[in-house]
Amino acid sequence: MKKLFQGSQNYPFLPYAQIRDRLKPGDVIAFSGKDFPSTGVKVATCSSFVHVAIVFQAHEPGSYEDSVLIAESHIDTSLPSVGTGKRILGVQLQWLAQRIAATDCPVWWAALKQPLNSNALSQMQQWLLEVEQRRIPYDFVQAIGAGFDLLDHWGLENRTDDSALFCSELVTRALQIAAVLDMTVNAAEQTPLDVMQFSCFQPIVVIKTSESQPKAWSGEVIELSDYQNQEMEA
């Protein structure tokens, strides 16, 4: 089997079209970005992961349309949320294919090591639907606090509540509700980088590279069979 981690980017590449049918509810998708907020996240966390979303619904076999649905808390209001039909600065449901098509920055996939059982899936989806229907806003203040741990030494550690949620807080809470993560983890202190490093995930895979600098990619392009073998060994 090919070595999965090599090249300056550290992560192997599998195009989204090849892995779409392998996405499962609870898997996490991470995005990079070039705007001012994204740059701030990069500086604060020393990472290219600036936004995370969680797979809410897997692709339906035989479906003509791409049906992978993600839940996220986002400041991008360019698309109406699939559930409410409203443009929300906060918790949204979006088609993953549309989010990927809209960015020219890298996108990553972290797959759960173990799929959710039916009870865990139901509870996670119910909670995500609830916060989407309530139009929970994006939590700017705690998003900043999560990125700057120096504030914790001054007694300003974030506290989790569902009145406002930033992206990695939403994903962490969803994984806790699905009983994948321990409830003692402070969801309001997790950055996108923290989420992608949770031990419940398989090694990270790039599913889209930067369109603006395609020749800059130096990671390994792997075959789907290599990733399937790696999954079985995990």
Q: Which domain holds residue 175?
A: 16-219
Asked whether residue 148 is assigned to any structural domain, the reply reads yes
Number of independent structural domains in the chain: 1
Q: Quick one: average pLDDT of 122-143?
A: 94
Helix axes 167-177, 118-133, angle to 10 degrees: 140
Nearest to 196 by CA among 11, 18, 1, 17: 11
Q: Is 50 exceeded by the pLDDT of residue 213?
A: no
Q: Is 70 exceeded by the pLDDT of residue 224?
A: no
- Residues 147 and 44 sit within 8 Å (Cβ to Cβ): yes
Tokens standing for residue 36 = 């001012």
Asked whether residue 6 is assigned to any structural domain, the reply reads no
Per-residue pLDDT of 73-130, as tens digits, reads 999 999 999 999 999 999 999 999 999 999 999 999 999 999 999 999 999 999 999 9
> DSSP of 106-117, one letter per residue?
-EEEE-BSSPPP
Per-residue pLDDT of 16-65, as tens digits, reads 999 999 999 999 999 997 764 555 555 555 678 999 999 999 988 777 67
Q: Is 50 exceeded by the pLDDT of residue 218?
A: no
Residues above pLDDT 90, as percent of the chain: 63
Mean pLDDT score across all residues of the chain? 83
Q: Quick one: average pLDDT of 166-179?
A: 97
* Sequence-separated (6 or more) residues with CB below 8 Å from residue 193: 45, 46, 47, 49
Task: Please give the model's pTM, rounded to 2 decimal places.
Answer: 0.85
- Residues 222 and 14 sit within 8 Å (Cβ to Cβ): yes
CATH number of domain containing 147: 3.90.1720.10
Confidence of residue 140 (pLDDT cuts 50, 70, 90): confident
d(CA 82, CA 72): 12
pLDDT, residue 89, reads 96
